[in-house]
């Protein structure tokens, strides 16, 4: 009983290890759920990045439109030689300057928002990197857990095999008669449990295995045919064996009848001779001559009795030899019976083990099917989530190409406007040089006029009123003209410097826009590359999982087929062993009955022999 308790404890340890494996599987499922949440977070980050790119594009469009060609054109009208403070459309330049100021303020606010969004983008990129690293760490952890689970599973398998061997050895050590009943009870319970589990599994798998049922029905029909043929062959063999046994029994019965007939004949002879002896006694009393005849008859009777004794001894030896042979055959039959019973116990244990394995395999198959369905659904969801991403990528590419073309057009327009402005600036510089020369000439003329006027005043004190008034008016006009020219020259100078500054600002903005576009294009290409790598990895994982599931399904189907074939074989062997045992039990019973009949016949013969001896003694006394 101590060994049985050890086995029970080992089974409990195996159950605890199985529970640990189930916990590991639950952890694996939780890690897979974490992986899915991380994927959702990645998709959310991608959406945020798309929104940031849209905002950047809007800000670029506003910054590009801030300084338009019309505003530059209105400012160029300031360098008009007529010194008009209005443009061709009649608008005031101060109004345009206010608009430019407001547009610059809006541009600065948009640039600040862009910088803030870029900082948020950097933070999101950093979080994305963190999440990617966490995902890689989790995937590595999952792979390590899978390896540990596989190692634990292989170790548990080896331990189960060793313990099954120990169980088989212990079963061989136990007494057969004590354990057989317990095993039959446990076997019946396990068979009932297995039948219940099989019914539950069959009820659960009816919806999935409608196609297999038809093939199984065909196989069952063929198996039934073969079983019927085997039963017919077994019946024929049984009939032939029964015929042989009946012939052997008939031969034994015939021999017994012959011995009985001989004994009956001897009895009749003895009775007849006793009658003759009685007659001879009567005759002896009357005649003395008959004594010699009687003596002769007695000698003959003694010889016949000796012959009968010899026949009896030979018959007794034959019966003893037959009994020995029967005992030997009975011992052989009992040995075969015990061997076949041990084989039946082994077969029953193998049946129970294989049924447990089949149930475990079916449970594992169901679990694998459920896991594959969940993984397949998850992968379908991921693919469905990736399809709009592909569409978005295509749209982004189209928008990118359109934006590139628009930006190129705008850049060409800006270059044309810049060239036009440069040409105008050159013209203005030339005009400025001309004005400087004119100003220098005017200053020389004024000095010359002043010198001549001073000389004329010294030489001519008497000058007409009309001529003096005209000369003063002309000098005043010349002074006002020179002052106006000087003012216009200064104004042109200021406008040229302001236009140069604005040209430098626009060049810097143009360079900044080019750099930003280049950075955005590189970021989009990187995102495209990462998305393509993720999609390719997911496709490879889907293919690997599909192949792995196919291999598992094929292996499980093969194992189920092998187990079903082995179960059918073991059931047939079990049935054959049971039928053989019943036949052998019937044969043993017949042999015991024949032995009892032979003992009764021997007792009768001994009784008859004793009677014959008594008769002989009585005759010898006479």
Tell me: the pLDDT tens digits for 502-542? 767 766 766 776 677 677 667 767 766 776 776 677 667 66
Q: What is the pLDDT of residue 551?
A: 73
197 touches 359 (CB < 8 A): yes
Predicted confidence (pLDDT) at residue 64 exceeds the cutoff of 50:
no
Does residue 72 come out as left (phi exceeding 0), alpha (psi in the -120 to 50 range) or beta? Answer: alpha
Q: What percent of the chain has pLDDT over 70?
A: 23
Residues 6+ apart with CB under 8 A from 146: 28
Predicted confidence (pLDDT) at residue 470 exceeds the cutoff of 50:
no
Distances (CA, A) of 232 to 152, 235, 510: 50, 5, 101
Q: What is the pLDDT of residue 486?
A: 56
Spatial separation of the C-alpha atoms in residues 129 and 125, rounded to whole Å: 6
- The number of beta carbons lying within 10 Å of the beta carbon of residue 321 is 10
Number of helical (H) and strand (E) elements in the chain, helices listed first: 7, 0
Angle at 205 (CA atoms; ends 200, 209), nearest 5 degrees: 150
Q: Give 375-408 as a 3 state SS string.
A: HHHHHHHHHHHHHHHHHHHHHHHHHHHHHHHHHH
| Placement of tokens 């010899």 in the chain | 310
The DSSP secondary structure of 426-493, one letter per residue, reads: HHHHHHHHHHHHHHHHHHHHHHHHHHHHHHHHHH-----HHHHHHHHHHHHHHHHHHHHHHHHHHHHH
Predicted confidence (pLDDT) at residue 75 exceeds the cutoff of 60:
no
Distances (CA, A) of 157 to 362, 371, 603: 17, 22, 65
Q: What is the pLDDT of residue 108?
A: 72
Tell me: the pLDDT tens digits for 201-255? 666 566 656 656 666 676 667 666 666 766 776 677 677 767 766 776 677 667 6
Spatial separation of the C-alpha atoms in residues 204 and 220, rounded to whole Å: 21
Predicted confidence (pLDDT) at residue 344 exceeds the cutoff of 60:
yes
Q: What percent of the chain has pLDDT over 90?
A: 0
Does residue 87 come out as left (phi exceeding 0), alpha (psi in the -120 to 50 range) or beta? Answer: beta
What's the average model confidence in pLDDT over 580-586? Answer: 71
- The angle that helices 290-459 and 2-64 make with each other, rounded to 10 degrees, is 20
Q: What is the pLDDT of residue 91?
A: 43
Spatial separation of the C-alpha atoms in residues 364 and 556, rounded to whole Å: 9
Q: What is the pLDDT of residue 178?
A: 59
Q: What is the pLDDT of residue 233?
A: 62
Whole-number mean pLDDT of the chain? 65
Tell me: the pLDDT tens digits for 5-33? 665 566 666 666 666 666 666 665 666 56
Rg (CA), the chain: 63
Spatial separation of the C-alpha atoms in residues 345 and 479, rounded to whole Å: 139
- Higher-scoring residue by pLDDT: 61, 432: 432
Spatial separation of the C-alpha atoms in residues 361 and 557, rounded to whole Å: 9
Predicted confidence (pLDDT) at residue 576 exceeds the cutoff of 70:
yes
Spatial separation of the C-alpha atoms in residues 105 and 496, rounded to whole Å: 23
Q: What is the pLDDT of residue 467?
A: 45
Residues 6+ apart with CB under 8 A from 560: 358, 361, 362, 365
Predicted confidence (pLDDT) at residue 355 exceeds the cutoff of 70:
no
Q: What are phi and psi of 92, to 5 degrees?
A: -80, 140
Q: What is the pLDDT of residue 33?
A: 64
Spatial separation of the C-alpha atoms in residues 598 and 591, rounded to whole Å: 10
Predicted confidence (pLDDT) at residue 85 exceeds the cutoff of 50:
no
Q: What are phi and psi of 137, to 5 degrees?
A: -60, -40
Instruction: Report residue 4 as tokens.
Output: 């049985």
Q: Given CA atoms 315, 317, 318, 323 in this order, what sign does their dihedral have?
A: positive
pLDDT bucket at 92, cuts 50 / 70 / 90: very low
Predicted confidence (pLDDT) at residue 2 exceeds the cutoff of 70:
no
Tell me: the pLDDT tens digits for 306-322? 776 676 667 667 766 76
Q: What is the pLDDT of residue 586?
A: 74
Q: What is the pLDDT of residue 554?
A: 74
Predicted confidence (pLDDT) at residue 442 exceeds the cutoff of 70:
no
Q: What is the pLDDT of residue 66?
A: 40
Tell me: the pLDDT tens digits for 145-178? 667 766 766 676 677 677 667 666 665 655 545 5
Predicted confidence (pLDDT) at residue 444 exceeds the cutoff of 60:
yes
355 touches 190 (CB < 8 A): yes
pLDDT bucket at 49, cuts 50 / 70 / 90: low
Residue-range domains of the chain with CATH = 1-178 (1.10.287)
């Amino acid at each position: 009983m101590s060994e049985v308790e050890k086995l029970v404890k080992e089974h409990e340890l195996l159950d605890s290890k199985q529970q640990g494996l189930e916990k590991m599987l639950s952890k694996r499922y939780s890690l897979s759920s974490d992986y899915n949440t991380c994927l959702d977070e990645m998709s959310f980050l991608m959406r945020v990045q798309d929104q940031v790119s849209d905002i950047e594009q809007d800000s670029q469009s506003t910054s590009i439109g801030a300084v338009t060609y019309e505003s530059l054109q209105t400012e160029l009208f300031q360098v008009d030689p007529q010194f008009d403070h209005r443009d061709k459309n009649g608008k005031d330049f101060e109004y345009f300057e206010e608009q430019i100021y407001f547009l610059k303020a809006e541009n600065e606010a948009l640039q600040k928002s862009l910088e803030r969004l870029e900082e948020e983008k950097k933070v999101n990129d950093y979080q994305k990197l963190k999440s990617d690293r966490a995902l890689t760490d989790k995937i590595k952890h999952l792979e390590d857990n899978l390896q540990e689970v596989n190692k634990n599973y292989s170790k548990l398998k080896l331990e189960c095999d060793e313990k099954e061997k120990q169980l088989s050895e212990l079963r061989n050590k136990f007494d057969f008669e004590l354990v057989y009943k317990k095993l039959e009870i446990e076997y019946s319970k396990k068979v009932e449990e297995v039948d219940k589990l099989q019914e539950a599994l069959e009820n659960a798998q009816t919806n999935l295995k409608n196609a297999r049922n038809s093939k199984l029905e065909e196989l069952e029909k063929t198996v039934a045919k073969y079983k019927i043929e085997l039963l017919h062959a077994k019946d024929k063999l049984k009939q032939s064996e029964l015929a042989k046994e009946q012939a052997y029994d008939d031969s034994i019965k015939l021999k017994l009848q012959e011995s009985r007939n001989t004994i009956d004949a001897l009895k009749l002879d003895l009775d007849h001779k006793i009658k003759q002896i009685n007659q001879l006694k009567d005759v002896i009393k009357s005649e003395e001559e008959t004594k010699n005849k009687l003596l002769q008859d007695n000698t003959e009777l003694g010889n016949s009795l000796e012959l009968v004794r010899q026949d009896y001894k030979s018959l007794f030896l034959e019966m003893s030899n037959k009994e020995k042979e029967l005992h030997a055959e009975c011992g052989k039959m009992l040995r075969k019976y015990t061997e076949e019973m041990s084989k039946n116990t082994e077969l029953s244990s193998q049946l129970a083990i294989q049924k447990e394995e089949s149930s475990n395999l079916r449970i594992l198959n169901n679990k694998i099917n459920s896991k594959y369905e969940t993984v397949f659904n998850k992968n379908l969801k991921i693919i469905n989530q990736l399809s709009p991403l592909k569409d978005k990528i295509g749209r982004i590419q189209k928008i990118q190409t359109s934006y590139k073309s628009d930006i190129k057009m705008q850049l060409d327009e800006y270059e044309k406007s810049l060239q036009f402005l440069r040409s105008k600036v050159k013209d203005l510089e030339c005009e400025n040089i001309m004005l400087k020369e004119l100003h220098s000439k005017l200053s020389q003329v004024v000095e010359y006029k002043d010198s001549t006027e001073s000389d004329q005043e010294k030489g001519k004190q008497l000058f007409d009123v009309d001529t003096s008034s005209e000369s003063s008016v002309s000098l005043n006009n010349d002074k006002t003209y020179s002052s106006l020219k000087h003012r216009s020259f200064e104004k042109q100078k200021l406008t040229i410097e302001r236009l140069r500054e604005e040209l430098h600002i626009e060049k810097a903005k143009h360079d900044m826009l080019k750099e930003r576009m280049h950075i955005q294009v590189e970021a989009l290409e990187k995102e495209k590359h990462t998305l393509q790598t993720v999609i390719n990895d997911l496709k490879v994982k889907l293919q690997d999982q599909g192949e792995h599931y196919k291999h598992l399904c094929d292996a499980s189907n093969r194992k189920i087929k092998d187990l079903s074939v082995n179960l059918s074989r073991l059931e047939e062997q079990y049935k054959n062993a049971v039928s053989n045992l019943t036949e052998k039990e019937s044969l043993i019973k017949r042999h015991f009955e024949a032995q009892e009949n032979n003992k009764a016949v021997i007792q009768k013969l001994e009784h008859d022999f004793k009677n014959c001896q008594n008769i002989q003694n009585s005759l010898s006394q006479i």
